[in-house]
Amino acid sequence: MKLSTIAATLAELGAKPTQSLGQNFLHDQNLAKWIVDQTDIAPGEAWLEVGPGLGALTEFAQARSENGVLLEKDDRLIAWLRTEFPKLEVVHGDALTYDPRELFSRGPVKIFGNLPYYVSSQLLFHFTAEPSPAAGFVLTLQREVAERLCAEPSTKAYGSFTLLIGRRWQVKLLRILPAQIFTPVPKVDSAVVSLTPRNDDEVPECDGGLFTSLVKRGFAQRRKMLRKNIQLERWPEFAAALGVPETARAEELSLAQWVALTNLASGATGDHSAKAQDVTGEIFDVVDEHDKVIGQRPRGEVHREKLRHRAVHIFVINKLGELFLQRRSRWKDVHPRKWDSSAAGHVNAGDTYDITAARELDEELGVRASLECIGELPSSEATGWEFVKIYRAMHNGPFQLPPAEIESGSFFTHEQLTRWVAARPQDFATGFLECWRAVAPKT
Ligand code: SAM
């Protein structure tokens, strides 16, 4: 968008740039196109622009794909954006309170924007919070914030921000932008960064909650030694295992060492692949077409020979009436990374459905609650020859998700799930879809 067009459009709207909304409009068209090109949005691919303003980036994104959402807080711009970009969805609201769960039904979403600087780091945390619907980000930030995101250990810029975002996202500083390409000219330079999901093998899995708490404690007083900040009894032993001096400060540990420290502190190895598939010893009751027990067989044989057996699915509902879904870990032998019921599992030989439901709720979510059976499914090809009982439990969380089994989880509204299941059934484990179709009206 040219400077003259920006001035004319603002005049037409009777508006002036608002400092409190971080309004600095980009007037270099080549750079606008370059920024959008970094997103690599494919035709038809879903995207979200945070703070479109007068559409400097939007026109280039729309040329790539019309499956876009514009999220703008300034009420003076909304009608204009709707007229200018009728094919896009324009959401009028504060990006900080926007519900990212709304995006799952569109599939993984590319998120970009020249962010309003007064909230840029909060916005990053908001849209990267687990589970995130983002496929990746291209963002213009204050240069100083971008440098903190990409910082190396033992530098001043390296800190909790670097690590908390960096555990899941590979951040690259793509380009420094001079302040003069915006109007009004901001006081600081900017930088464009990209965030792409880290590869599975790059950083071992760990307990995300514990990682966050250790990192925050570690950096609470940067100048102090780490052992004073985090107060871990076995620190001397952990420091030796990490290969760092006992006197190390938080900034001396790399991302890999912070993850390793988290796993040492929680007693996990970080290698969850074996645990997730440690199902070799399981024995199931085999049942007939009337769900009567007729024998016992090992799990592998039951599945290979398509023998009828039993399973439970649990739907955990919170006080808002939302349903908790878990995202299966990448190490699961079936349906890795698919969304599934709150908890689910096979009935082991000699156990009842009720006992199994209580056990799975405890093992997978780390909670106890009273369980009510709200439906059942007959054994069929669609259920993998399982007779399934579906239970409902009321709980608001938080849950303790075992990282080997579950990557993340979230409550979703009934409406969000209905839309998501209809648009993208491939995102879900088939067993959940069967249960959802059977009991959705009762949840
Ligand atoms: N993308 C436009 C450009 O490059 O010219 C505008 C960028 S300007 C730096 C930031 C934009 O974010 C403005 O349009 C502003 O109104 C909008 N904005 C500010 N705070 C916001 C918030 N909390 N949620 C959504 N949009 C916001």
**Tens-level pLDDT at each residue, the chain (443 residues):** 899 999 999 999 999 999 999 999 999 999 999 999 999 999 999 999 999 999 999 999 999 999 999 999 999 999 999 999 999 999 999 999 999 999 999 999 999 999 999 999 999 999 999 999 999 999 999 999 999 999 999 999 999 999 999 999 999 999 999 999 999 999 999 999 999 999 878 888 888 889 999 999 999 999 999 999 998 889 999 999 999 999 999 999 999 999 999 999 988 766 665 555 555 578 999 999 999 999 999 998 998 999 999 999 999 999 999 999 999 998 888 899 999 999 999 999 999 999 999 999 999 999 999 999 999 999 999 899 999 999 999 999 999 998 888 999 999 999 999 999 999 999 999 999 999 999 987 66
- The rounded Å distance from CA 191 to ligand 1 centre is 16
DSSP code of 152?
Answer: P
- The rounded Å distance from CA 25 to ligand 1 centre is 9
- Ligand 1 atom 11: residue of nearest CA: 51
Phi, psi of 180 (to 5 degrees): -65, -15
- Cα 271 to its chain centre, rounded Å, is 21
- Only one residue has tokens 């007083």, namely 221
Question: Sign of dihedral through CA atoms 120, 123, 129, 132?
Answer: negative
Mutational test site, ligand 1, from 74, 88, 139, 141, max ligand atoms within 8 Å of CB: 74
- The rounded Å distance from CA 55 to ligand 1 centre is 10
Domain with CATH 3.90.79.10 in the chain: 283-442
CATH no. of 208-269: 1.10.8.100
Amino acid residing at 293: V
Beta 371-377 vs 386-394: how paired, if at all? Answer: antiparallel
- Ligand 1 atom 16: residue of nearest CA: 74
| For the CA of 96, the nearest atom of ligand 1 | 23
**Where does ligand 1 bind, in terms of residues with CB under 6 Å?**
21-26, 50-54, 56-57, 71-74, 94-96, 113-114, 116, 119
Tokens linked to 265: 């502190």
Return the CATH architecture of domain 3-197: 3-Layer(aba) Sandwich (3.40)
C-beta of residue 148 within 8 angstroms of C-beta of residue 161: yes
- The rounded Å distance from CA 23 to ligand 1 centre is 6
Residues 6+ apart with CB under 8 A from 266: 206, 207, 210
Domain with CATH 1.10.8.100 in the chain: 208-269
- Ligand 1 atom 1: residue of nearest CA: 52
Q: What pLDDT shows up at residue 274?
A: 54
Class assignment of domain 283-442?
alpha beta
Mutational test site, ligand 1, from 114, 120, 138, max ligand atoms within 8 Å of CB: 114
